[in-house]
Amino acid sequence: DTGVSQNPRHKITKRGQNVTFRCDPISEHNRLYWYRQTLGQGPEFLTYFQNEAQLEKSRLLSDRFSAERPKGSFSTLEIQRTEQGDSAMYLCASSLETSPLNGQHFGDGTRLSIL
């Protein structure tokens, strides 16, 4: 169990640029989640995959955001035309399709800073 891996750990970019983050879940986990955390808040749900299918998206996920999970393995989250309000920690989590009481395993996140 190597844990959930996220890259890059930090991303600094200018407003208007596109950014892409990657998440490698625990290998046998078929569920993958993206969350966003801003200062002083708890993580907020963005989207969820079961295998390669994106099954739920939050209203927080505007048209500028897109997430993929090709072949049901790693996932990418892309933000187009970044805005100041996109500055946040982006967290990825994975889990098996078992009881929700087993929790989700989180990566250490990608911190995005928009200049």
Partner 1 sequence: DQQVKQNSPSLSVQEGRISILNCDYTNSMFDYFLWYKKYPAEGPTFLISISSIKDKNEDGRFTVFLNKSAKHLSLHIVPSQPGDSAVYFCAAIVPTGGGNKLTFGTGTQLKVEL
- Residue 50 CB, nearest approach to partner 1 (Å): 6
Nearer to partner 1, 17 or 62 (CB): 62
Q: What are the residues facing 20 on neighbouring strands? A: 78
Q: Which is nearer to partner 1, 76 or 111 (CB)?
A: 111
Minimum distance, C-beta of residue 43 to partner 1, in the bound complex (Å): 5
- Residues of this chain that interact with partner 1 (CB under 8 A) are 4, 31, 33, 35, 40-45, 48, 50, 55-56, 91, 93, 95, 100-109
Q: 12, 113 in Cβ contact below 8 A? A: yes
What percent of the chain is helix, strand and coil (3-state, nearest 5)? Answer: 10, 50, 45
Q: Tokens 């970044």 belong to which residue?
A: 82
Dihedrals phi, psi of 70, to nearest 5 degrees: -65, 135
Q: Which is nearer to partner 1, 36 or 114 (CB)?
A: 36
